Amino acid sequence: MSLDSDLTRQSAATLATAIARKEVSSEEVTRAHLDRIAQVDSRIHAFLHVDAEASLSQARLVDAKLAQGVLLSPLAGVPIALKDLVATKGVPTTCGSRILEGWRPPYNATIVEKLMAAGVVSLGKTNMDEFAMGSSTEHSGYGPTHNPWDLDRIPGGSGGGSAAAIASFEAPLAIGTDTGGSIRQPAAVTGTVGVKPTYGGVSRYGIVALASSLDQAGPCARDVMDTALLHSVIAGHDPRDSTSINAPVPDFVAAALNADVRGMKIGVIRELQGDGFQSGVLERFNQSLDILTELGAEIVEVSCPHFHYALGAYYLILPSEASSNLARFDGMRFGIRVDDGNDRSVEQVMSATREKGFGAEVKRRIMLGTYALSSGYYDAYYGQAQRIRTLINRDFAAAFATVDVLVSPTSPTTAFKIGEKLEDPLSMYLNDIATIPVNLAGNCAMSLPIGLAPEDGLPVGLQIIAPAMADTLLYRVGSALESALVDRWGGLLISEAPSL
Amino acid sequence: MTTQYESVIAEFDPIIGIETHIELGTNSKMFCSCSAQFGGDPNTHVCPVCLGMPGSMPVVNRAAVESTIRMGLALNCSIVPWCRFARKNYFYPDMPKNYQISQYDEPLCINGYLDVTVATANGPQVFRVDIERVHMEEDTGKLLHAGGAGRIHGATHSLVDYNRAGIPLIEVVTKPILGTGDLAPDVAKAYVAQLRDLMRALGVSDVRMEEGSLRCDVNVSLSRPGEEWGTRTETKNVNSLRSVERAVRTEMLRQADRLRAGDRITQETRHFNEGTGDTTSGRSKEGAEDYRYFPEPDLVPIAPSKEWIEELRATLPEIPSVRRARLQRDWGVSEFDMQSLVNAGALELIVASIDAGVQPAAARKWWTGELTRVANERSCELEELTVTPNDIVQIENLIAAGELTDKMARSVFEGLLQGEGTVADIVHQRGLIVVNDDASLIAAITAALADSPDVAEKIHSGKIAAAGAIVGAVMKATHGQADAARVRTLLLEHLGIKE
């Protein structure tokens, strides 16, 4: 690589190679990204917490190891941004909520330990919708994040901070979490790549839970290979998470190198196109299908009839689990406590703390979930939603009996304006219509950029869906499509983004 | 004249049901690797998991599952092929997550029974108590109310100790127990006692009741014969065998009073007052707390294989009822005596004493005699007394060596019960030394004979039983520190009489 160019414009793979060859130090790379953050983040607001000194000293440690000839991993020395619901020992972790203001976890999430062991350097914590509830990062208790393509627009959500950090070249890599699309939809609307691994593929230990049966952490980057490299570092069984898959980790990098779709059958989901999908999104999507055909894949249409019920089921299961997961935020052990000192009862303190600490969307979902789990309603709501989940699983199983992977637009629209959907939760929820079925079924998916919508010049994402534990297929198909597109564009789509 | 209780029984049939929570004796907690030991400085047996730190996740303790399956097997339950944990949601400051991980509609063990023997005027009677379920859950932390009087009311603040949070519990739930009639309180007590003995025999818990490691919720309802079942109340946190019996009796009397006055019984939880034996109204079940149970998504289902269950079945010890019959045979005691020592809570203590080297007869004598009397006086359990099987061994050894008389042994027990120290301390402090110097005993015998000249005549005329008066006088003169048998031998020798 030509290191005379801006270090922040390089891929993680390129940086790692240069660091390993000692052409550049991790400290220099880290410093370049910290400088970039200092330069642009006042406009983007991707980060909630940056500790430059801590990052630099981590980087120097990696450099010292390299000097001793220890290569920690293929990503050693590369900086990363962490979504602020990943527990980091001694480092503020707010989940985008005021209720956790001031909390510094006494322990590290498993993925943080894996990243540290791999010599990946943490730059800081990224903004998100409060407790990952939202599709725009507007529901952060600390103010919205701005889309680098258009600062008046949302960067998607809930992981808008992670996606925006990558898209604005503040970080080459980021960790996101995806409960209903929170990695993929931000990737789509910021022109970056995001992967939701198979449920259980990456440990959830230390990732503050939104909906435990849906949550999954995953990699965010600017190209497919970087997501594969990051996925390899964070994947694997964790004895501290009994829902994590106890099987060898597949070789995602080899799959990304095997960019070949010849003879593959790719299914287009009939239910995820047409009404509600922006015309420019569908136009780019159809062009991608043509490219995949040119690359030797066979495109067939499949039907997943129960996807119509996915959103409804999701908005029962998620709030139900969230209402229970968020019960621990009561002002007793961590975060803020609202107590006016007038001999308040425990219940009054809990209530006042939750009233002040939680935002409107969180309260809305806690109430929905509390109601759905209530005695007498459980069967009609939670029970019924779980049955839908089974039906969606069967839809996927039937589809994967005839095709290798499925594709759809990741999000029905490009990035909308900040404030545009804030008063209309239902239209906000519809943003995740294409991503939610994957979380309900527990399989895996990737979003990658496929161009700009002609009508607004904003990025469009394509979603590839593979069966559970077949994450390698995402990398194979994703890198094939990406390299064909990059050939046409003469570079990554993100290089078209306005300079900040 | 009939007692108040008898008149209640004459008019109503009681139905009881018991939920028992027992802390398992595993090394680590239910869902993390923290120590499950009782005590410790507050908040020292804690980690992100049992503190409910955001992001932390539970992992099931295999040893706790094994204990629960073994308990289920010993209670003749079916072990289900597949079950899950569930979250029980409610807010309380001693609950780190504000939900408890428990089991709800998918318990690990179902449909068992325990045959419970109760002593009656007509001899022992066996009741089969049907077990509805045995399931696992985690314990909560403990609140300490500080300032004011140290009680919850008037306390200025409360402190939380999370050492107990996450300790594995099993909950054993009976089906409604019918047809016990006037024996309802006794059946309740005997059931809990046998459950406790079973846990100990299995080694799944040492059940330290004084530390609150066994807690019962007692359900009671009354109905007139032929009528539908009455409304039940649930008396919570009844923590000793005696209290279980009292709670049932008290609640039967209270409900009968209300029913006779034409009142309705409110379905509610009630608190048991150890001091007065009364129950008082807790919260009403009609505005029932809604626990919003749902399957715990942070854990995978438990699916014990047939092989695993059979492996565990092979580890079950002799079941207590079979063992009891064997011990009764070995000791050669009557059914009645066996039942009364069981009722006195002496069985395990006698066995422990015998295991430690005491003769069966002597072990029975001390535990069912003197010690049971003191326990009754103090209204406590035998095992709560400050006498251990090891003390009995030491005392019996001293008796065998001729260093203590029976009477002096009683003095040692008195000392032990008053906490005066070890057996050796007490023997020393109380100056308990057998007078085995024949010359001084003969001097005492001579003096006693001189005081009662008629006795020597009676003995000479063949009434050897009269010797007792002289032996008694000598014992008195030596402050009980003589060996009565030796005194008798010397007396008869002295009078030249051969038996």
pLDDT in tens, A454-463: 999 999 999 9
Q: Is A290 helix (H, G, I), strand (E, B) or coil?
A: helix
Residues of chain A contacting residue B89, judged by C-beta atoms under 8 Å apart: 323-324, 327, 373
User: What confidence category does residue B149 fall into, taking pLDDT thresholds of 50, 70 and 90?
Assistant: low
Angle at B59 between CA A367 and CA B217, to 5 degrees: 70
The CA dihedral of B446, B427, B350, B246, to the nearest 10 degrees, is: 100
Q: Which of B294, B296, B299 to mutate to test the interface with A (most CBs of A within 10 A)?
A: B294
Closest CA to A129 of A83, A192, A189: A83
Write out the residue range of the structural domain in which residue A107 sits: 7-304+395-496
Is residue A72 within 8 Å of residue A65, measured between CB atoms? yes
Token pair listed for A274: 């047409």
pLDDT at B323: 86
Residue A124 is assigned to a structural domain of this protein? yes
Residue A375 is assigned to a structural domain of this protein? no
pLDDT, tens digit, 9 for 90 and up, residues A209-260: 999 999 999 999 999 999 999 999 999 999 999 999 999 999 999 999 999 9
Residue A442 is assigned to a structural domain of this protein? yes
pLDDT, tens digit, 9 for 90 and up, residues B32-44: 999 999 888 999 9
pLDDT, tens digit, 9 for 90 and up, residues A474-492: 999 999 999 999 999 999 9
pLDDT at A93: 98
The residue written with tokens 């007394």 in the block is B385
Closest residue on chain B to A332 (Cα) = B93
User: What confidence category does residue B288 fall into, taking pLDDT thresholds of 50, 70 and 90?
Assistant: low
CA–CA min distance B176, chain A (Å): 24
φ, ψ of residue A122 to 5 degrees: the values are -80, 130
Segment 46-85 of chain A within 8 Å of chain B by CB: 85
- Percent of chain A predicted with pLDDT > 70: 99
Q: For chain B, how many residues are written?
A: 499
Q: Is A400 helix (H, G, I), strand (E, B) or coil?
A: helix
State the average pLDDT over residues A1-19.
86
> In the predicted model, is pLDDT for residue B370 greater than 80?
yes
Asked if B87 reaches chain A (Cβ–Cβ under 8 Å), the answer is yes
Whether A373 sits inside 8 A of B158 (CB atoms) is no
Closest CA to A91 of A80, A79, A81, A106: A106
Segment 381-410 of chain A within 8 Å of chain B by CB: 382
- Percent of chain B predicted with pLDDT > 70: 97
Asked if B158 reaches chain A (Cβ–Cβ under 8 Å), the answer is yes
Q: What is the CATH number of domain B438-495?
A: 1.10.10.410
Q: Which residues contact A44 (CB under 8 A, 6 or more apart)?
A: A145, A146, A148, A151, A164, A165, A168, A170, A500
Q: Which residues of A are tagged catalytic?
A: 83, 158, 182
> In the predicted model, is pLDDT for residue A124 greater than 50?
yes
CA–CA min distance A403, chain B (Å): 30
Give the one of A241, A347, A374 whose C-beta lies nearest to B57's C-beta.
A241
pLDDT at A169: 98
Residue A237's domain is classified under what CATH number? Answer: 3.90.1300.10
Closest residue on chain A to B52 (Cα) = A328
What average pLDDT does chain A have?
96
List the single range of A444-453, B175-184, B245-254, B410-419 with lowest mean pLDDT: B410-419
Whether A321 sits inside 8 A of B97 (CB atoms) is no
Please report, as a single letter, which amino acid is at residue B446.
Answer: T
- Percent of chain B predicted with pLDDT > 90: 56
Beta bridge partners, A152, equal: none
User: What confidence category does residue B324 fall into, taking pLDDT thresholds of 50, 70 and 90?
Assistant: confident
pLDDT at A1: 46
pLDDT, tens digit, 9 for 90 and up, residues A152-208: 999 999 999 999 999 999 999 999 999 999 999 999 999 999 999 999 999 999 999
Asked if A332 reaches chain B (Cβ–Cβ under 8 Å), the answer is yes
Q: Kindly provide the residue ranges of all beta strands, DSSP E only, lying in B60-185, ordered along the sequence.
A: 78-79, 86-89, 99-102, 109-120, 123-138, 142-146, 157-161, 168-174
Tally of CB atoms within 10 A around A192: 34
Task: List, by residue range, all CATH 1.10.10.410 domains of chain B.
Answer: 438-495
pLDDT at A287: 98
The CA dihedral of A461, A462, A468, A472, to the nearest 10 degrees, is: -100
Please count the structural domains in chain A. 1
User: Cα–chain-centroid distance for residue A388?
Assistant: 24
Asked if A100 reaches chain B (Cβ–Cβ under 8 Å), the answer is yes
pLDDT at B229: 93
Asked if A199 reaches chain B (Cβ–Cβ under 8 Å), the answer is no
Give the one of B53, B91, B299 whose C-beta lies nearest to A105's C-beta.
B53
List the single range of A107-121, A128-142, B136-150, B252-266 with lowest mean pLDDT: B136-150
Asked if B104 reaches chain A (Cβ–Cβ under 8 Å), the answer is no
What average pLDDT does chain B have?
90
Residues of chain A contacting residue B51, judged by C-beta atoms under 8 Å apart: 333
**pTM score, two decimals?**
0.86
State the average pLDDT over residues B262-271.
92
Whether B96 sits inside 8 A of A328 (CB atoms) is yes
User: Cα–chain-centroid distance for residue B388?
Assistant: 15
